[in-house]
Amino acid sequence: MRWMSLFEDLEAELAAAHDGEFGREVSEMTRTEIARISLVERLVGHVGMSLTLRSGAGSWSGTLGHVGAEWLVLANGNHSVLVPFSALTEIDGLGVQAGQRPAGVQARLGFASALRVLARERATVTIHTGQRQARLSGMIDRVGSDHCDIAEVVAGECRRPQHVRRVVTVLLSAISAVESG
């Protein structure tokens, strides 16, 4: 009987060691998988959900509408904000779910591509730059590879030469957010 008790104790110790080793392996595999998830993938997993964003230009709350390779769009009614990832400082409301990273053409649509859509639509926008709460309101005239031109237009007027106060060139890297609507 004494031998049986000894073997039972050894089996229990081996089982506990195995369970502990298995638990450590699972934890390590989980950490490794989480380390591979990008912000883009997490955001794609939250499209249609409510988030609050903060950047150097301020904060916005709304529903995550689109996620690009370098940017996201948050919508709140008819109002939306386009924010480059490089300007984000905080995101409230992200859960653990993740989606697939954009692929193909969508993966190549950078921040400049999103601005070109707004320029094509002749949307009236407010561009926030830097940490000083600087703002430019008007229409995006043209978008280069690393800059864009904003025509500041008299409030309520369409983009016509007589309504343009000035045209300002802004570096894309300086843009914290683009509001429209």
In a domain, 62, yes or no: yes
| Three-state secondary structure call for residue 103 | coil
- pLDDT for 170 equals 94
In a domain, 81, yes or no: yes
For residues 153 and 17, give the distance between their C-alpha atoms in angstroms, rounded to a whole number: 72
pTM check: above 0.95: no
Domain of 90 in residue numbering reads as 39-180
Q: How many domains does the chain have?
A: 1
- pLDDT for 62 equals 96
For position 56, which CATH number holds?
Answer: 2.30.30.600
In a domain, 29, yes or no: no
Give 10-residue mean pLDDT values along the chain (181 residues).
65 67 63 74 92 89 93 93 93 86 71 94 89 81 95 78 88 93 77
In a domain, 125, yes or no: yes
In a domain, 12, yes or no: no
> Which letter, b or e, does each residue of 51-78 get, where b requires 16 or more Cβ atoms within 10 Å of its Cβ?
bebebbbeebebbbebbbbbbbbbbeee
In a domain, 90, yes or no: yes
For residues 84 and 172, give the distance between their C-alpha atoms in angstroms, rounded to a whole number: 9
In a domain, 21, yes or no: no
